[in-house]
Amino acid sequence: MFGFVRARRAMAAQRGGRSLARSSFVVAAALCVFACASPQPSGAPRNAGPSAASTGSPSSRVLRIGIQREPPTVALRPFQETFASQYVATRTFNADISIVDDNAQPHPYLVDALPQLNTDSWQVFPDGRMDTTYHLRPNLTWHDGTHLTAEDFVFGWKVYTAPNMAQSHGPPYAAIADVTAPDDRTFVIHWSTPYPDAGHLSGRDQQFPALPRHLLQREFESDATDAFFALSYWTRDYVGLGPYKMINWEPGAYIEASAFAGHSGGPPKVSKVRITFIGDRNTALANALGGDVDILADNVIQFGDALTLRREWEPRQGGTVVWTFGTWRGIDIQHRPTFVRPQALLDLQVRKALIQAVDRQGINDAIYEGVALMADYVVPPLGQFGDAAKNGSVKYPFDPRQSEQLMNAAGYVKGPDGFFTSPAGGRFTVEMKTSSGPDNEQELAAIADAWRNTGFDITQAVVPVAQTQNLEVRAGYSGMYLLSTPGGDRTAASYTADNVPLPENNWRGSNRSGWSNDEYTQLAKQFQSTLDVRERLQQLTQMARIFTEDVASISLYFRPQVWAFTSDVRGGGTAPPETDPAWNMPDWEIR
């Protein structure tokens, strides 16, 4: 994979034309370390797992972390989309086959070594089938002291691919034919088709977690789906393999956890963690400034709050704010003829007119002080696939005159009121929605105003927090939806016809715009089954070209997601798109 250092250089080059003051601001945020901190670890020790180098007794101080929302579960793979970041909760209680470090490199975590292509550990057969073999590290246990065995991985596969679990069509499960356990420490994944990430199985919604048979097998085999989902195991009685184990879950308030001595690689350096749910961003900000939390993560504060923290903290070395750029921010356009209004949105010239009437850099400058990373496609211009995405993407500069010419070509002219209208379709009026939140609503207003000034009649609608996880609300909009989604190759490969949410599939599927293209679908499927890295880069370049040529969605930028660490915390830092800032959580320290 490309190193994160290269990604940082790309970021710096992209912003090179901005003022020295702003450049200094971005560099300080992206490369932050505490002035008095010990050096940040560059990666997990190879073949040892996180925290292998830990020495001494864990700190007795409680590490207090604030997050935005109470998670429905702390399981590594939830059974339904959550539409919210849960890096802290899942990282606290779970360990995986591998861990990806701050250089975007995977390392063995629960296994002795990661399978290597064209060796006995990763065999590819002439018909395209594969076998990958994983050997568990010795003497691993679940949080309750029960030994982890290879059969727990077999059981996890059975659970997540059960017909009523809605996971079998997603990665990596869709590519797996069977999983076997020749002995207690060895499991083999038998692949029905090539799967390029089979060696490490990392990445959001791509993990291959084990599940504790001794706690779940009887309930799972009872075939009572609702009862299985409702088990207290998934929340207050969770038993995992991560650096911390559950002590207490107070619904609506917080989760408490203690260091797990049996954690792969050794216990974490902090003995206790308290994860508090802070739904109000002003409260979160006040808690940070008042010293009531040590870390703010997972969208608990937004960009404006981060500026307040930097202004208040820096003079007294109170803490550090970091940005991550793994979240794509853009506007999905409804492509399903049954739902779309007006039908003119299905006209490519109209979509091109819309994107050229959005001053994306101006919005970035006005709302994010230029810190957001400009986007042309759903894959960040950083990390492993960054160059491929940039090379393939069609660029649409802000050009209101060109926008009007495109609308004229589509049969629209400006009426006396300044809005586009046509003899056949009447006034061009479209509703644009977004989810509740200050940054979301500010962006919505700015974009809608710009379009109105150009001649597009835009109506605004804000979806209340209570409805943001309603699948029909998220997918059944009529016009456009301003939204965030994890950026990266997984999202790029999701824009296929079989992933479109519809009433007949209970609105399941992440391709909520309904856009699909036969050539793109073929490339996406090839991309997900090609083992050669160079070929995958070429495929993604072509995917970016097709997606952007057709203006499948309007890409804005990769919004800066905020993490804040007080000066009492050591080891926290930024992360590339392939991972998140909590990757080295076992090595965090607190004084």
**pLDDT (0 to 100) of residue 136:** 98
The reply to whether domains 4-77+241-325+561-590 and 327-558 share a CATH topology is no
Q: CA angle at residue 560 from 469 to 328, to 5 degrees?
A: 55
Segments of 31-185 assigned E as strands: 59-67, 98-100, 106-108, 122-124, 130-135, 176-183
**CATH number for the segment(s) 327-558:** 3.10.105.10
pTM score, two decimals? 0.80
Q: Residue 79 has what pLDDT?
A: 75
Is 269 within 8 Å of 58 (Cβ atoms)? Answer: yes
Answer CATH for 4-77+241-325+561-590 from 3.40.190.10, 3.10.180.10, 3.40.50.620, 3.40.1080.10: 3.40.190.10
Strand order across the beta sheet in which 130-135 lies: 122-124, 130-135, 186-191, 176-183
Q: Which amino acid is at 491?
A: T
**Domain parsing of the chain, residue ranges:** 4-77+241-325+561-590, 111-225, 327-558
- The CATH superfamily assigned to 111-225 is Dipeptide-binding Protein; Domain 1 (3.90.76.10)
Give residue 458's pLDDT: 97
CA 104 from chain center: how many Å?
14
Task: Identify the pLDDT of residue 83.
Answer: 52
All residue ranges of the chain with pLDDT < 70 are: 1-59, 80-84, 166
CB atoms within 10 A of CB 155: 21
The whole-angstrom distance between residue 407's C-alpha and the CA centroid of its chain comes to: 35
Q: What is the pLDDT of residue 166?
A: 67
Calculate the CA 197 to chain-centre distance.
Answer: 17
pLDDT, position 356: 97
